[in-house]
Amino acid sequence: MTSSEQNRRLVLEAVARFGAGDVEGFAELLDEDFVSHNPRVAHDPALQSGREAFADFLKVSVHLRDAKVVAKHVLADGDLVAVHTHVGTAQGDLATVDLFRVGEGRIVEHWDVVQPVPDELPHPHGMF
């Protein structure tokens, strides 16, 4: 199995755990020195690890609590894996693209782009 395929499987496992509401299980797949580039994730490295900071963010994030997550597209290229997901929340649906960097069997870095799914689209193409 190629490293791209191993990394793809790791990230899909992380997405599945998050989608099942298993934040602790999701966090197990993150490196201790995990880095999130999401501007809403507070992280002071002097007080806690990147993994702990991200898990804390997910635990208290009201809009992600009980979210339903469905991976629609996955791209893997070496240590980078991108996942296009449909996230259903109580506040409305979101279209997201999460980019993960993987190292030594753990997720070490994360970027994301999030946009709300409008009730009506001006075209027939959908968001996914």
On whether residue 101 sits in a domain, the answer given is: yes
69-73 — which CB contacts under 8 Å span 24+ positions?
Answer: 69/15, 69/18, 69/19, 70/19, 71/12, 71/15, 72/128, 73/128
State how many domains the chain has.
1
Residues 6+ apart with CB under 8 A from 69: 15, 18, 19, 85, 86, 87, 88
Task: List the one residue out of 58, 82, 87 whose CA is nearest residue 70.
Answer: 87
| CATH number (domain holding residue 112) | 3.10.450.50
Q: Could you give the residue ranges of the DSSP H alpha helices within the chain?
A: 3-19, 23-27, 50-60
On whether residue 121 sits in a domain, the answer given is: no
On whether residue 112 sits in a domain, the answer given is: yes
When mean pLDDT is compared across 2-6, 10-14, 102-106, the lowest value belongs to 2-6
3-class SS of residue 51: helix
Q: Supply the range of the domain harboring residue 53.
A: 3-116
3-class SS of residue 31: strand
Per-residue model confidence (pLDDT) at position 27: 95
Q: What is the pTM of this model?
A: 0.92
On whether residue 21 sits in a domain, the answer given is: yes
On whether residue 124 sits in a domain, the answer given is: no
User: What residue has token string 């991108």?
Assistant: 82
On whether residue 122 sits in a domain, the answer given is: no
Q: How confident is the model at residue 92 (pLDDT cuts 50, 70, 90)?
A: very high
On whether residue 128 sits in a domain, the answer given is: no
On whether residue 64 sits in a domain, the answer given is: yes
Per-residue model confidence (pLDDT) at position 124: 96
Per-residue model confidence (pLDDT) at position 118: 96
Which of residues 23 and 9 earns the better pLDDT score?
9
Per-residue model confidence (pLDDT) at position 63: 73
pLDDT per residue over 23-76, tens digit each? 999 999 999 999 999 998 999 998 999 999 999 998 888 677 788 999 999 999
3-class SS of residue 100: strand
